[in-house]
Structure 1
Amino acid sequence: MIQKWRSGKEGETFRRSVFFKLLLSFMAILMIPFVIGALLYGRMEQALIENAYDSNQTLLQQTRLAVDSRMNEVDQLAAQIAFDPMLQLFLYEENNRASINDYTYIELIRNLKRYRTLSPFIDDYYVYFKQSDRIVTTTIRTDTDTFYRYINEYQNRSLDEIKSLLNSYHLRTYLPAEPIQYDQKQRSMITTISSLPMGDNTEVRGSLVVTIDETQLLGQLRKSDHRETDYYIFGADGQVISTTSDRSGALEDLRSSMGHGYGNLAATIGGTDMLISYTTSSQNNWTYVSVIPKTIILSKVNETKSLALLLVLLCMAGGFAVSYYLAYKNHRPIRELIHTILQGKNMSGVAIRNEFAFIRNELLSSIVEEKQMRGVLSQQKPVIQADFISRLMKGFVDTSSLKESDYSFMNVSLPHPYYGVVLLQIDDCRRFVQEESEREWTLVRFILINLSNELLAGNGYAIELDRDRVGILLNSTESIAEKGNELDRLLQSIKSQMEGKFRTSVTIAVSNMKSGIHGIAVAYGEAVTAMEHKSMQEQGSVIYYDTIRGVERHYFYYSLEMEAQLMNYAKSGDYSNVEKVLDQLFEINFQSRSISPEMAKYLSSELMSTVIKLLSALNIDDETFFGGEGESFKYLAKIGTAEEMSATLKRLYLAICEKVTGDRSDHSDLLASRIRCYIESHYDSNELSLTTIADHVGLNPSYLSTFYKKQMGHNVTEYITSLRMKEAKTLLAETELTVAAIAIKVGFANDIGLIRLFKKTEGITPGKYREIAGGSGPDNEAVL
């Protein structure tokens, strides 16, 4: 008999013995002639199916062309009526009694009657006027309620639903076929609605409605094929417009499998195998589908197949009996040997698993993990790009160390030699948003960023800076930013489109163009300075820094952002970036423009105030840094020129950074020790992660990872893995716990993670390691 071994899961049985392989070998020899016959039959069957598909596609194409031609007549009628001069007058002047009276209504009815067509597709058409809630047909004028209750009654739609459709915007909307009570008759009609004025989605004044007789459309479908074929027409939105089948919902589950264009597929509908062909019209995006039972195509072939199948079953029964006898006889010595090995090693109950299934599962798991990782990286690309550009504009990036690979990773390309910064301040968006919530502000910023990126056409990047501010990093071949040039026309276009389309007022501040990427931070400062003059300009202006330079000498530039940069760099001991910020600050105030001596004194006071704040935050005695002076302002009084001010400030910040760096080494050793202690006491928890460790020590996860790697020479994950592997090997060698229990005990969620990691680091499975180490406890890993 076939040997069975039960796995760790209750009720799961594996039949993977040598006996089974021997039986399959004998059966394989027996199956060779049957396989050849089946292949020949399958090829013949496939050829018939392919011929049927070709025939279906040809008929569908003919049907599509015929229907498209008829629908083109509908489109032409709608266009002629929509642009009728009399109709245009009614759309805009209907309530003006001076120009609209009963006679003009009669004239409109006559005009509509002139567009009558001989096409059997078009049953009727009429115009709905939204302002007066009236309907004008080719014969009468009436109100909407009377028309849809007594003249043209929809059986499946309420009056409110119809009014909602007529009052909303439609370019060319087709409603599925449905019964309409018309002239005391009930007929199935397809309704098409087009909003008036045609193409204007800002204000709907009415609608043109054309009804199409479905029986004429179905006649076009049926006359092309006399087989038992069902036809469906799907609209662009996936709804069934019309069908010859009584089961209109039969294809809804398969609609998503049909692509754009044309194609074929097979499916089972209502227990019947069907051959499905489809093609899509480029005119109105309708999809034409034909469905024919597979049995009709293969009726003769199936009769021969039934007889052949009976003979195959008889041969298979005899062949299986002979194969089973031979396999059982040859397997007896192997079965006895396996029984002896299992008894000798006390391995009763060990699960014998399918090696191929295990490999397949691992491969699928790796593919899923890779896709997830790629998906996460792809989602983060816009965030990484925006963060990099923001820090680049604000001077937080060391531009001298950037390489091409860095730009590629950040998804940023800056091929042109000149750089500039543009700030877009959202002044008033109340006419566009419903309420000033974060969601509405996010929508406005999203629109402004996308509009800017579209108009920039690769010459820069637009990013979000603040709740009501968007920044643009310009990269241009032009070295001058001024009124009248290409950049000015682009900015004027952004401003006009935001005001015209989205009713949002925007003020724009533009820096001078700088040569070299190192000038971006200076350009950002100029743009901020230009934006500060918004109060002296008209709302929605474009302010160029170059135009306000001459009036700048009564003001100095030292923004809160620049002060925050200085303090953050100094607290981290990064003197090189502190020096860059100071150089930018003095270039803006003393080189790019000239401020008055009084303003220079005020600027000096502000800069010294920042130093005092920094000393207080770091708990540093200020007398050490002010040359023995009791007060910082006495020390400040000794500073003379701007060059002396710059040199003095650099000396102070250098001393602060050196002290911070010196104090940090002892703190780093203590922090690294805290991290290791926390890992060693929590490595057996499957909730341990970089985030939980960072929360414990109060650091950012990415900073913690970089810090630990630099301090210890290995990363956090490697250390956690080494602790878990060491404990797992101890438990495998010294206890009788199962692999699943050991996995949970050392911090894995299940045994799959432990087995994968064990094989990666040790080269063998946990069960094999236990066998080598001399363990005899029960295990649930496969014997390989």
Structure 2
Amino acid sequence: MLKTKTFRKFLLSYVIILLFPLITGIVSYQVSINVAKSSSIESSLLILKKSKDILESRMKEVERFTRQLSSVEGFNQHLSASAESGPIDLYSLRETSRYLSTYAHTNDFLADSYIYLKNYNIILSNGSVFFRVDHFYELYHYHDLSFDQWKKTILEANHQGKIIPVRSYISNKKDLSVITYVQSLPLNSFNKPLGTAVINIDQQKIGGLLEGLSKQYGGWAFIADHEGNPLTMVGIDKTQTKKIVEKLKKEGGSTNQFLENETLLLSEKSDFNDWQYVAGIPKQGLMEKAEIIKHLTWIVTGSTLLIGILLCLFLAYRNSTPIHKLMDVVREQIGSDASKHKNEYDFIHGNISKLISNNKSLKSELTSQKQIIKDSFIKSLLNGEFPTQQGIMDRAEQLEVYFQGDVGYVGILKINGYGHMENKEIHDELNASRLIIKHTLTELEPTIKMTDFHSDKIIVIFSFNREKEGDAANEIKGIIDALTLSIANSYRISISAFIGRSFRNYFDISRSYHEAKEALDYTFPLMKGSKILWYQDVEKENSVFYYPIDLELRLVNAIKTAEAHDVKQILDQIFQKNFSERNLSPKIAEQLLEEIKSTLIKTFDSNVVQSSGQSGALIKKVLQIQLKVGIKQVWKDFKDLAEEFCSLVNKKKKETNDHAIKLIIEFLEKEYSDPDLSLYRISEKIGFPEKFVSQLFKEQLGEYVSDYLEKIRINKASELLVTTEQTIEEISVNVGYNSAHSFRRAFKRVLHVTPKVYRQTIIHSDGLINSKDKKQAHK
């Protein structure tokens, strides 16, 4: 530590500061009293001004933080989004809360800080997202504010940079006294704020700025806001501060005056927020130090110098330590060498700039990761991992993977000349070759989708519109011929292509891919010099049936999800591959039959349908199927049994859904008067996830849960308007609204008339109609 440049610079600065007062004391012995007095006053003012400058800079940081929130990606969208507009982007909320946490760590004045989003009724705080505001209140709250008061006066009220004076505060079971800065969001929301940023500042942190005055002169100090309320105090009580503030107001804020008790009064007023910084130094404290200097200058010069040197060492060590700790953190995280920089400040500055640059590059890196996800989607599509056609289309649209059409071919391009050779040079050469091939293919036809297949192969998906289906094979041949010629002439790369049969929907891409793999396994010399081998040209073997594991899994998933159309399509594909394209022997056909029966039995015996009697009957029918009735009849029986099982699954789903809808409606009818009734409580009550409740209700009844609840409340309210003499405010509370204003808006939105007009329409000229007539009129 003693050898570092930063430490030496601090030490030199303190030593120079120490030497000047000593030399000046010796030379100016006769005027030591006035010098000590003026020095004490200037020092106190310096501390006061420095405290003001530090605190103002911290408060500007707090204000600037609330303004910078508008630049946080996606934050304004969260402010303006409605709770019913769709699922909440949790990732974006988490990033915003992390930004808040990062800011809190850079400002040591903060006790804690949080952001309230009114539309979602959630709080973002220090890297966390509180979906239950009352849970946050239990950890962080003022002693003198209830939950409702806090929510109404702090979270939902309109604040434009408001400073709340010192209050007792609980911060995660820790008692504090804090000053609160509150800003409504967005910044121009003067009437209807969409959110609130709340930042609590620890009073002890502010008070620590003024402790030097009390320790050095035995005096006191305080800071008061523009209304005269004390924000922090050192060595003085609240009553005395009020009197001094009143005195300063009467005398126009004058300073450097003595009070009645011969205490020197110093004050500074902030131009930033009109806060008053006031300090009092007893005259005895000023003069006592001067007298000691006067009588003991020559005696204490040596000891003062020694003590000053030790103090300089201590201060230099204390002030340089944070810089060194910061450098250690930077070295640990980044690994930079400080010796390459002129000093520690350049080292920190350079690495912070590097971090900022890396942060920007991280965004572009995330964009590149999307290509990896797209490649994973292509591989899943080829392996038949999607259970439905619609699932493929939804995922492709989500990832922005667009095909030219829903018909085409799957092919495998193999780089020739490498065989099973494996070493680093060959691996690098193959990587370069694949990049060249994919780049050339993209230039020839941008709509082609590609993914790597081992080190020397590339899988390509050619897609076309149905209008071009007849010319697709010729167009593929032209593309591959152009590719072969281009890479052979420019890079001396030789390739072979293996193409499966055409697919007519995305669900069938997996089948074309496996056919291309079969063509790839075909003996290459039999291709007679051609660079393209089509699956239909391959001589099929009859000793093995076609029933790959991925096709079996697709069949199982389609049956369990009750996709009867997909089940028939898969069974037809198996039949086509084995009995139209191959000539299986009876023994091999029997083996295939047993495999499919095994698949159906395992699927029917699962817990998808809980009724053991029904599934057991289907299993018996499967066991009774025999090849002797004819292969077409066998396949018809398979499809009929699978369709029957799908019907059972759909029936079970319908029963479950109907029961869930019944439970939801019963719960809404019972709890409609609760203003805090939410989708979370409904899902918790009936035992289903929130997303399932919302989607099921919309699918079954054609409207959202919130709209249905609103209709129940308005119907109940209209009954009360007809059958009782309760006020509109009382009725709004009874049917679950927090305010009469929101009730009136909802009533008019549903019935297209205000509550008052609705009540008046059922009043006869001679008074209110009787209760029976009221109910009839309501109906």
Same fold (TM over 0.5): no
TM-score (normalised: structure 1): 0.34
TM-score (normalised: structure 2): 0.35
